[in-house]
């Protein structure tokens, strides 16, 4: 009997896979270090603590750094590492066969909601599957 992953498990898997992919490493801790170094001194809003913190200073330990928001550009960068060609057609993520000039829609991306976690559960689950996630 297959056990469906919870949305929270899927979101965490997607976050880890995408952050690793866009930072060129399979090690999540290393990917977070790279992200953090890219953002040293940048102001970030902590949604959990409702306060502004400065990444890379003494307040750094005040909140766990989880990486930058996962937006469409980062999803597409992560998908570049996989053997299929993906792109956006009319607000949909599609697998594109450039040789035959055809495409298959995979899922919709609501352009009014900028982050992956704001997308529909169906879209988040489709991204999870594209990134190699399994429902077992």
Query: Per residue in 42-72, pLDDT tens?
Result: 545 444 444 444 444 434 444 566 778 999 9
Q: Is residue 136 part of a domain?
A: no
- Are 7 and 120 contacting, i.e. CB atoms less than 8 angstroms apart? no
Task: Report the pLDDT averaged over residues 103-112.
Answer: 91
The yes-or-no verdict on residue 31 having pLDDT over 80 is: yes
Q: Is residue 49 part of a domain?
A: yes
Q: What is the pLDDT of residue 89?
A: 85
Give the chain's domain count: 1
Q: What is the pLDDT of residue 11?
A: 96
Q: What is the pLDDT of residue 47?
A: 47
Q: Is residue 70 part of a domain?
A: yes
Query: With the CA atoms of 15, 113, 52 and 48 taken in that order, what torsion angle do they form, in degrees rounded to the nearest 10?
Result: -60
| pLDDT greater at residue 67 or residue 130 | 130
Tell me the residue range of the domain where 42 lies: 7-130
């Amino acid at each position: 009997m297959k056990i469906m992953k919870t949305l929270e498990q899927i979101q965490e898997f997607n976050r880890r896979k995408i952050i690793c992919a866009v930072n060129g490493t399979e090690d999540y801790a290393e990917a977070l270090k790279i992200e953090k170094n890219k953002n040293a001194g940048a102001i970030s809003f902590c949604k959990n603590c409702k306060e502004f913190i400065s990444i890379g200073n003494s307040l750094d330990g005040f909140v766990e750094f989880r990486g930058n928001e996962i937006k469409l550009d980062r999803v597409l960068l992560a998908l570049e590492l996989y053997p299929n060609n993906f792109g956006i057609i009319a607000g949909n993520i599609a697998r594109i066969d450039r040789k035959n000039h055809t495409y298959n829609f995979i899922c919709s991306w609501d352009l009014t909601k900028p982050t992956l976690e704001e997308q529909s559960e169906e879209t988040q689950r489709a991204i999870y599957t594209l990134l190699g996630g399994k429902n077992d």
